[in-house]
Amino acid sequence: MEGIRIGVKYCGGCREQYDRKSAAARIRENVLGAAEFVPAEAGGTYDALLVICGCPTCCADISGYRTDGNVVKVAGEGDCVRAQEELTKTVESKAR
């Protein structure tokens, strides 16, 4: 079985209201299970897509990305725990 890949897509950061890189690192560290977090590239296919937006508008364009799992959007610090939980569930279900 291939490793589980989670694509990470950042918005452009025009209205960044928190430290997006710190939030992404915290999510990555706390997702349970074996998953590889990789920069999302247009045309790529991922087991899940983590979209890190700098504000509640969450305008990152993800139309060029494919996922076999869920798209998890983070628009502020308050979304980090939910994102960790959702991604952990995805990792667990794909590992079976």
Structure confidence at residue 2 (pLDDT):
63
pLDDT > 70? residue 1 = no
Proportion of the chain in helix, strand, coil states, percent, rounded to 5: 30, 25, 45
> Whole-prediction pTM value?
0.92
3-state secondary structure (DSSP) of residue 39: strand
CATH code, domain with 12: 3.40.50
More confident residue, 41 or 3: 41
Average pLDDT (64-86) is 94
- The number of folded domains in the chain is 1
3-state secondary structure (DSSP) of residue 35: coil
Containing structural domain, residue 89: 5-95
Q: What percent of the chain has pLDDT over 70?
A: 98
Structure confidence at residue 29 (pLDDT):
93
| Alpha-carbon span 76 to 1, nearest angstrom | 34
